[in-house]
Amino acid sequence: MKKFIIAILLVSSGVYAQGAYEKGMEKALGLWSEGKITDASNLFERIAMAEQDNWLPYYYVAQINTVTTFGQKDEKIVGERLGKAKEFLDVAKAISPDNPELLVQEAMINTAWIAFDGATYGMTLSGKNVKLYQEAIALAPENPRVVFSKAEWDMGTARYFGKDTAPYCKDVEKAVELFATFNPETPFYPKWGKERAEAVLSECKSE
């Protein structure tokens, strides 16, 4: 009887913990959508500390601190946010090695640095991004975020060197098709990119 009660308690605590995780993630994503960036990042951090074998909350800390640097001119803010992003990304990669979503996120951090100061970071980080996207596409050729992110990076590189971006439009089109059928592996799995891919594809067709 004692063993039965312990088993029930363990199951109950597991259900409670899962429920708390789901509620926390939903709240954090909601805060982000409302533009409450600091609150969202802090909540993702607290969830990450409680879910130390789950890469997703670490991923979202990295992502939110990356995307909010684009357009930011204050070097201290950029450095702090991208430093935190890389710190949490490294933990996520340790939890989930060979994860294409994390490779894309790492490339996004590099891109944020390049966007902030291309003269300083462009030469060193561009080559790293090429390798990251090659690795990601080898791991997950049917992942729409991987396909689109690589295509957008290739288009940006082509523009920088004054080359035609049209050859990469087919990859953007493929990404849009993949978004339509992509099934997330778990709750709160990354879903972003569909609207952006559709917008880029529309630009491709108008050129």
* Residues 175, 204 contacting (CB under 8 angstroms): no
Same domain, 96 and 188: no
Same domain, 29 and 114: yes
Decide which of 67, 87, 118 is a domain's last residue.
118
Same domain, 26 and 113: yes
Q: For every residue of 44-95, which 3-state class applies, written as one string?
A: HHHHHHHCCCCHHHHHHHHHHHHHCCCCCCCHHHHHHHHHHHHHHHHHHHHH
pLDDT tens column, 49-90: 999 999 999 999 999 999 999 999 999 999 999 999 999 999
pLDDT at 5: 36
Give the residue among 206, 123, 126, 138 at the shortest CA–CA distance from 172. Answer: 206
At a CB cut-off of 8 Å and minimum separation 6, what does 182 contact?
Answer: 143, 144
Asked whether residue 3 is assigned to any structural domain, the reply reads: no
Q: What is the amino acid identity at position 167?
A: P
Asked whether residue 42 is assigned to any structural domain, the reply reads: yes
Q: Which residue range is the domain that position 202 belongs to?
A: 141-207
Same domain, 43 and 105: yes
Same domain, 73 and 27: yes
Asked whether residue 8 is assigned to any structural domain, the reply reads: no
Q: What percent of the chain has pLDDT over 70?
A: 91
Q: Name the domain count of the chain.
A: 2
Asked whether residue 29 is assigned to any structural domain, the reply reads: yes
Residue bearing tokens 């939110």:
64
pLDDT tens column, 63-73: 999 999 999 99
* pLDDT of residue 207 exceeding 80: no
Same domain, 68 and 113: yes
Same domain, 100 and 40: yes
Same domain, 89 and 40: yes
Decide which of 118, 152, 174 is a domain's last residue.
118
Same domain, 100 and 187: no
The whole model's pTM is what?
A: 0.88
Q: What angle do CA 64, 113, 137 make, to 5 degrees?
A: 75
Same domain, 181 and 145: yes
Same domain, 21 and 101: yes
Same domain, 113 and 165: no
Query: Structure tokens of 152?
Result: 């957008």
Average pLDDT over residues 122-147: 97
- CATH code at 30? 1.25.40.10
Asked whether residue 186 is assigned to any structural domain, the reply reads: yes
Asked whether residue 52 is assigned to any structural domain, the reply reads: yes
Cα separation of the two ends of the chain: 73
Distance, in Å, from the CA atom of 41 to the CA atom of 128, rounded to the nearest integer, reads 27
Average pLDDT over residues 93-115: 97
Asked whether residue 136 is assigned to any structural domain, the reply reads: no
